[in-house]
Amino acid sequence: MALNYKCKSQKRSAVEKSMNTFLIIYLAILLFEAILSTILKYAWQAEDKWDEPFYNQKTEQEKNSSRILKFISDFLAFLVLYNFIIPISLYVTVEMQKFLGSFFIGWDLDLYHEESDQKAQVNTSDLNEELGQVEYVFTDKTGTLTENEMQFRECSINGVKYREMNGKLVPEGMTDDSPDGSSPHLMGEELLFLKAVSLCHTVQISYDQPDSLLGGDPFSHANGFSSNNMEYYASSPDEKALVEATKRIGVAFTGSSGDTMEIQTFGKSEKYKLLHVLEFDPDRRRMSVILQTPSGGKVLFTKGAESAILPFAIIGEIEKTRLHVDEFALKGLRTLVVACRHFSPEEYIDVDKRLTSARTALQQREEKLQEAFAYIERDLQLLGATGVEDKLQDKVQETIEALRLAGIKVWVLTGDKHETAVSVSLSCGHFHRTMNILELLQQRSDNECAEQLRRLARRLKEDHVIQHGLVVDGASLSLALREHEKLFMEVCKNCSAVLCCRMAPLQKAKVNTY
């Protein structure tokens, strides 16, 4: 319990803070009056004739009692006499106001949900002032600002951009004028890209077969494939959208049984043996599978962020793909880069030994796995990139604008790349066109980060009229919070909106604690 305990700062509302301030003032007045009255009493009774009236003469015991105890007794007597200065009814009045004020939330038509015929439900009388003390809102992008319903839009294969039209991949600038049902004309590189996308994932399949309930064979899909009763399920909506897209185009993932993955390439079944899965992690920002092809070869398919794939690619249209990824990002699309690596028999034996050794290590298993993954996921052949669209939630722009008018600053935390994140921020109203966008990106050292923060602080001081927005990436954020926390927070507080991109999940949690 002690190790898990985190010291949290007390959150007090403005009303509670002001009441406590007045209470301290009233208490100080009470103590001052009690002390002053006690002193004046002894000054008054300094002369014998004013000591005590004839009807209240002191006893011998009282005359010989300690003067200190007598002073304390008189002080406490005056304290009781003046205690009405502390307004005990103030708290009762404020609590009553809170209780009555909570009804207005339920009566507010702007908070009424017409579809479910429900008004806002208030479960605490403190809700009004709790809402009033919100200064910052931290939000993720995917599933919060966006619907988390992905749609495949574009892809880049071997340096050529494609889009999907009527279930076919069409190069940019061309139209799909071929008749329905015509045989597809895909080159080897395009086909390899589609196979990589349809095999490098953790998607599961659900088969909806009503006839199995009537005594039919529930495993009939193992021998025969029907795309009408098949539904994909995945922890990542990106993966689901990509696998569904390759299925529409003609390379369909039809299921996995044990260590066998099956795809149907334009009706022709192909079975791949799953040898290893190199799981996704936030540090590598990619995931990979090692498969045995139907011909017996060993191949690695990997997909991930362009910063995690392109530096390790040695073959393929690297620069063209990088430009296409940036173009997709400027359109607000979520991007993934796909690559592969073919192993010779000797190379695979080495890879298998390294992975097995790392997975069975009793000590420093994580470090050894990372070393093995880094050794395997290199010398890649770049296949292409994908662009997936995630639609904005309804009325997200109006909501963010209302929060801004209420004086609340919105921070968006996302793992997307810089261009995608800025594009979505502009489209959802988090950043607006008249806002001056400041950048803290790609900082590589503490000194460089500090100098950039000082430049941003100077710009903020020089220009008070224009609203400012700040874009910071995960690497720069780590440097800023490590050595220059106060300077970074000063810059952030003077910005109307902050966008943190390229964030790992742990970094998102860390930002919220600050």
Q: Which of 140, 176, 352, 379 is catalytic?
A: 140
Separation of alpha carbons 208 and 201, rounded Å: 22
Whether residue 117 lies in the annotated active site:
no
Separation of alpha carbons 262 and 274, rounded Å: 10
Contact 316, 308 (CB under 8 A): no
What is the C-alpha R_g of the chain? 35
Backbone phi, psi, residue 271, to 5°: -115, 130
List the structure tokens of 115: 């579809």
Separation of alpha carbons 194 and 168, rounded Å: 12
Residues in the chain: 514
Contact 436, 460 (CB under 8 A): no
Pairing mode, strands 268-278 and 136-140 = unpaired
List the structure tokens of 112: 């009424």
Backbone phi, psi, residue 368, to 5°: -70, -35
CA angle, residues 299, 416, 324, in degrees to nearest 5? 65
CA 366 to each of CA 290, 301, 358, 363, 478: distance values in angstroms, whole numbers, following the listed order: 19, 22, 8, 9, 22
Separation of alpha carbons 276 and 292, rounded Å: 10
What residues contact residue 474 under an 8 Å CB cut-off, 6+ apart? 500, 501, 502, 503, 504, 507
Query: E strands, 245-361, where?
Result: 251-257, 260-265, 268-278, 286-292, 298-304, 313-315, 334-343
Other C-beta atoms within 10 Å of 175: how many? Answer: 7
Residue 167 φ/ψ region, left for φ over 0, alpha for ψ in the -120 to 50 degree band, beta for the rest: left
Backbone phi, psi, residue 499, to 5°: -120, 120
* Amino acid identity at 385: A
Other C-beta atoms within 10 Å of 436: how many? Answer: 16
The one-character DSSP state at 435 is S
Annotated catalytic sites, by residue?
140
